[in-house]
Amino acid sequence: MFEEPFGAVLVVDAGSSSLHLTVFDDDLGVLAERDSSSAPGDHAVGLLRQLLHEAPAPVAVGHRVVHGGPALREHLLVDDHVRDALDGAADMAPLHVPPALTVLDAARDLLPDIPHAACLDTAFHAGLPAAAREYAVPGAWRERYGLRRYGFHGLSYSWALGRAAELLGRRPERLQVVIAHLGGGCSACAVRDGRSVDTTMGFTPLEGLVMAHRSGSIDPGALTWLQTRHHLSAEEVDTALNQGGGLLALSGTSDDTRDLVRARAGGDERAGFALDVFTHHCRRGIAAMAASLDRLDALVFTGEIGEDQPEVREEVCARLTTLGLTSGLQVPEGATVDRPTVVSAPGAAVPVVVVPTGEGRQVDRETRTLLRQHQA
């Protein structure tokens, strides 16, 4: 059905140490953008003003929010009730949600007369089956504290699923795929018939795969042992796992796989060790996700590492032969956000697809969908 154009939409992606502002037109073309490599704060208003001076006036603002908490399970237009509910989710993702709310408040003050949408990474996983969703912990913890698997990177998964389906000539609701989002944060997701049925991240974005400077999963008994036997505080543990873990901790030099691949080639054994641990956990996570599917129609890589690091893709797939994957992946030339690529050999039993990340574009799409629903 033909959809009438709305006009420009401003997309806000605020991270723990960065801020990305983009104005899209009705065809997902970029009209203007601004980036900051510092944590969102007082400078956010100035950056917003600069962008708005360069671009057409937006008809709406879409905000990427990592965690919706137990109260918010779908993308929503922001009112005071929704804003209060987002406050309740802030301590579940303290590195991500507070900066997003800082910019949300600044944008609502600056643009009070247009709709603002909260586009939640957790929304994609809201329908997780109970067996995948629930932790084996006391019922009071689950009911009183909302302790469950929420899952993240949902906007990235939504975009990657749609682009991979188009490339493969299949409808998303007919596909069973594993998608691996590998970047600063890393996770894998099992998608059956267009819906998330399992994912490696859990209550917070800390669980699951090894990441840039986040540890990923660790025996919870080890954490209580560190606190009771060695008297580490909860704050010390939290800081170490979220900021001093992952590739940075393993290599001792860098949390960037590009640096580590170069260092390994130069003989740095710790860099090679870090990459070995990283790819091992990727394989284990992907295999675990495949166990939630009836078949594997494709493996999809996205995220900065997933799209830009062929060495990582090769090492992951070369040792997943039990899933029908093989080595010898191609290196795509000039892949763009609008051009996903099959990198497996022609006729491969399981196609391997690279989809450049498009979270901002997915926020734009979800925002426009909310506007249409609101106007209907």
* Residues with catalytic function: 121
Radius of gyration of the chain (CA): 21
Residue 266 burial by Cβ neighbours in a 10 Å radius (0-12, 13-18, 19+): exposed
Give the HSE-up count for residue 160: Cα atoms under 13 Å, Cβ half-sphere.
34
- For residues 151 and 97, the answer to whether their CB atoms sit within 8 Å is no
Burial 221-255 (b: 16+ CB within 10 A, else e): eebeeeeeeeebeeeebbeebbbebbbbbbbeebb
